[in-house]
Amino acid sequence: MTGDPGNHSGAPDGARRTRPFVVRAWAFLVDGLAGLGTAMIGALMAIICADILVRNLMGGSLPLVSELGALALVMIVYLQLATTVRHDRLVRSDLLIGAVGARAPRLRLVIESFFDLVGLAVIGILAWSTVSILERDMQVGQYIGVTGVLILPTWPFRALILLGLVVATLQFLFQFVHRIRVLAAGAERAP
């Protein structure tokens, strides 16, 4: 969550120490998931390169490469979504927001709050729909691959997708609440 981690509200000393720890722990979780996604990009690239070598040298292919690649790409995107939101890297019209912010900082906060609210709703709906997919995969024993050659269950991939969606939803929520608090406090600048 972006913003000043300091406590200027006159809260007790314990609250001053807890808030920065909570903010740092949240940042560690969000950026840690992005790091995991980045490591998975490297692993996926290695698998694809190995498959290319096997195809060219032996005339065959490695099992699961296409199925694993499809699931891994979706998983990587959702693992890195929360950090994208946290660092304001989502695609949006920064030209418009910047121009508005230069002349009317409070209006900029309203626009960014609305953006966070819409993101919260959309990603929250995606997370909610992923729960039923994960439950089905676990109940049915869904897997990818060829029976007798190599198979992998799909539920760990779906669980990581759900984790990424939940964390991104919470990140949108935290940013929305923070901006509403700044608006309510009458701040003249965006955090």
Mean pLDDT for the chain? 87
Q: Which amino acid is at 125?
A: I
Domain spans in the chain, listed from the N-terminal domain onward? 13-185
pLDDT tens sequence across 64-101? 898 999 999 999 999 999 999 999 888 877 778 888 88
97 by DSSP, 3-state: which?
helix
Q: Return phi, psi of residue 145, to 5°.
A: 115, -170
What pLDDT, on the 0 to 100 scale, is given for residue 188?
A: 46
What end-to-end distance do the CA atoms of the chain give, in Å?
Answer: 10
Neighbours of 113 (CB within 10 A): 18
60 by DSSP, 3-state: which?
coil
Instruction: Output the DSSP codes for 15-41.
Output: HHHHHHHHHHHHHHHHHHHHHHHHHHH
